Chain A
Amino acid sequence: MATTNPRNLSEQMPASGFKKFWADYSESPLAVAALIVFLTILFIAIFAPFISPTNPYDLATVDIMNSRLPPGSEDFSGNLFILGTDGAGRDMLSSIFYGLRVSLGVGAFSGLVALVFGAIMGLSAAYFGGRYETLVMRVVDIQLSFPSILMALVILAIFGKGVEKTIIALILVQWAYYARAARASALVEKNKEYVEAAKCLALSDRRIILSHITPNCMAPLIVVGTLQTAHAISLEATLSFLGLGLPITEPSLGLLIGNGFEFMYSGDYWISIFPGVALLITIVSINLVGDQLRDIFNPRLQR
């Protein structure tokens, strides 16, 4: 794989597939470890109701007498709280499992919608060009000149808090990043011969964009998508911590951390720390996977 001959590379492309991808990806043991960690977190998030020791939101099983137990304590009936309990007597481990579910769900869903919307805007801007492109990209530029936290605060100040509203805010904050990435790669693709060939066949614009250009722009979008999802999870946690994001009925990791904040001054560190560690592991593992994907897909680093 040490060759730099472009002909060789292009000959290998069609046969590459998943095997080549995995061979490239697994070159970094750190990235493999990150992927394993991430898949574990994903598993926990999806199956939280089945693997959690208790259901932290079932009022019948939560006992206020168990509030603020340190990690590793047992209650009178012998239930073990590995990571301790929060102010209401909920098992922290179970709360974190459920919190991961909410955080990942909101992050992934908003990321996906933003990806689709942003990609459509970016691809169509690159394809049609002209005033339409100028308009779309001007909006993107203006939006990207403001930090995401500020955009999200504005949107939540306008709409108020809630699950859908937080998701809307995250989508509106993120779409511009996808639009920029999609446009950049579509600008390169649209001048290639296969697009010209498709145009000669008198295929519709929609078909050319969707089934010819889009598949060739997927790599950068996947990279942006991975890193952006980590960013969205972090942003949602921040907003929920500030009390402006998700409501108490949908406790994400950010909200759990916020709940523990008041107990920290009395030394009950575990209520804030453990959800934060879970959040950090999630974000770092996604970022590491994204970094590795970027290295694989980057043509300049092509081995």
Chain B
Amino acid sequence: MTAFILRRSLQSVFVLFVMSLLVFIGVNLVGNPVDMLINPEADQAEIERVIRDLGLDRPVTEQYWYFLVNAFQGDLGKSFVFGEPALKLIIQRMPATFELALFSLLIAIVFGIPLGIYAGLKPNSKISKTIMAGSILGFSMPTFWVGIILIMFFAVHLGWLPSTGRGELGTFLGVTSSIFTLDGLSHIFLPAFNLALFKLSSVIRLARAGTREIILQDYIKFARAKGLSESRVINVHLLKNILIPIVTVIGLEFGSLIAFSTVTETVFAWPGMGKLIIEAIYNLDRPIVVAYLMIIVFIFVTLNLVVDITYSFLDPRVRIKGEA
């Protein structure tokens, strides 16, 4: 077991290292930041001073070495545009993104599981067919376009909900978030729903498939034969068993919510790190791009590692196969 965790952790560190190298080398090929960031009317001395300040005059290998050393010290360079440490800028924006992703996850679970169970229990009813057709649409519709439609309908046409920004922030138990004020909630609802739609569709499908499979099992028949109420059969015996695959997928795909929030944040002008990275790509603000990618890679590698280790605890076959 220890060997498995150790081996798996080493693999993760290796992936992190390779990704850092790829990202750094790749990003160094983008345009020429000197042309982008220095006032065209600046004289030669000024240009040279800025190049020195940004470390652009050193060889690429040396730049990468400094980057690695600094990365271990939590310093991923200074933003060319903001003049502040890239890591600090991203961490400042991180709560907004996490809040959006978590709220979306909540929407996907709270609505997805009941809808999926319903569609699984009554596969031939009209409502179930509507739910499943909706989930196909949810899979097919590009996130950004749904966002536009939501803004157009709820913000422009009906005027019910605001379409940009994070709204008023509230603090509860030391956590500052939009979801603790009414204004904040009204701001988060549209983007969160937009981001949740894809996940909602997959939760519905998983819940439906799980329900249809488990409803045929002997223990469900036995529970019914015992004379348990239908609500107890569904809420306890069925729900517990369909949750296993759903929890796995949700754990694995939380990272993809964060990745897709780049799109949603851009559409809804949500001040998170996704919007920051898109702007940084426009501006060729390399330190921000590199820092964002490193943080995302770190999040993904950690998530995968945690899921794998949890799995090996639950299912010995994974562990044995891994050690062989």
Q: Is the CB of A149 within 8 A of B26?
A: no
CB nearest neighbor in A for B29: A158
A-B pairs, top 10 by smallest CB distance, nearest first, are A158-B26, A147-B256, A150-B259, A276-B145, A147-B259, A284-B140, A283-B140, A234-B142, A157-B281, A241-B144
12 contacts between A and B (CB under 8 A): A146-B255, A155-B26, A242-B144, A261-B148, A264-B156, A272-B145, A273-B149, A276-B142, A279-B145, A280-B145, A283-B140, A288-B136
Interface of A toward B, CB cutoff 8 Å: 142, 145-147, 149-150, 153-160, 230, 234, 237-238, 241-244, 254, 257, 261, 264-265, 267, 269, 272-273, 276, 279-280, 283-284, 287-288
Q: Give the distance in Å from the alpha carbon of A283 to the alpha carbon of B140 in the complex.
A: 6
Residues of B within 8 A of A244 (CB): 278, 281-282
Residues of A within 8 A of B259 (CB): 146-147, 149-150
| CB contact list, B255-290 vs A, under 8 A | 255-256, 259-260, 262-263, 266-267, 277-278, 281-282, 289
Q: Is B23 an interface residue (CB 8 A)?
A: yes
Q: Is the CB of B156 within 8 A of A153?
A: no
Q: Is the CB of A157 within 8 A of B142?
A: no
Residue of B15, B152, B304 with highest tally of chain A CB at under 10 A: B152
**A153 is contacted by which of B15, B142, B262, B304 (Cβ under 8 Å)?**
B262
Chain B 145-180 per-residue mask, 1 if CB under 8 angstroms from chain A, else 0 = 100110110001100000000000000000000000
**A136 to nearest B CB, angstroms?**
15
Question: By DSSP majority rule, is chain B's interface helix, strand, loop, or mixed?
Answer: helix
Residues of A within 8 A of B144 (CB): 237-238, 241-242, 254, 257
**B23 is contacted by which of A154, A156, A242 (Cβ under 8 Å)?**
A154
Q: Is the CB of B27 within 8 A of A145?
A: no
Q: Is the CB of A142 within 8 A of B15?
A: yes
Q: Is B104 an interface residue (CB 8 A)?
A: no
Q: Give the distance in Å from the alpha carbon of A85 to the alpha carbon of B277 in the complex.
A: 33
Q: Is B69 an interface residue (CB 8 A)?
A: no
Q: Is the CB of B140 within 8 A of A280?
A: yes
Interface of B toward A, CB cutoff 8 Å: 15, 23, 26-27, 29-31, 136-137, 139-145, 148-149, 151-152, 156-157, 255-256, 259-260, 262-263, 266-267, 277-278, 281-282, 289, 293, 296-297, 300, 304
CB nearest neighbor in B for A265: B156
* Known A-B contacts A145-B300, A264-B148; A279 and B31 likewise in contact (beta carbons under 8 Å): no
CB nearest neighbor in B for A261: B148
Q: Give the distance in Å from the alpha carbon of A241 to the alpha carbon of B152 in the complex.
A: 17
- Inter-chain pairs besides A146-B259, A238-B263, A283-B142, 20 sampled, C-beta below 8 Å: A145-B300, A146-B297, A149-B259, A150-B256, A157-B26, A157-B281, A157-B293, A158-B27, A230-B140, A234-B142, A237-B142, A237-B145, A238-B143, A241-B145, A242-B262, A242-B266, A257-B145, A272-B148, A273-B152, A284-B137
**B197 to nearest A CB, angstroms?**
13
**A276 is contacted by which of B148, B157, B255 (Cβ under 8 Å)?**
B148
Residues of B within 8 A of A273 (CB): 148-149, 152
Q: Give the distance in Å from the alpha carbon of A237 to the alpha carbon of B293 in the complex.
A: 22
* Known A-B contacts A154-B23, A158-B27; A242 and B255 likewise in contact (beta carbons under 8 Å): no
Residues of B within 8 A of A283 (CB): 140-142
Q: Is the CB of B282 within 8 A of A243?
A: yes
**B263 is contacted by which of A149, A157, A279 (Cβ under 8 Å)?**
A149
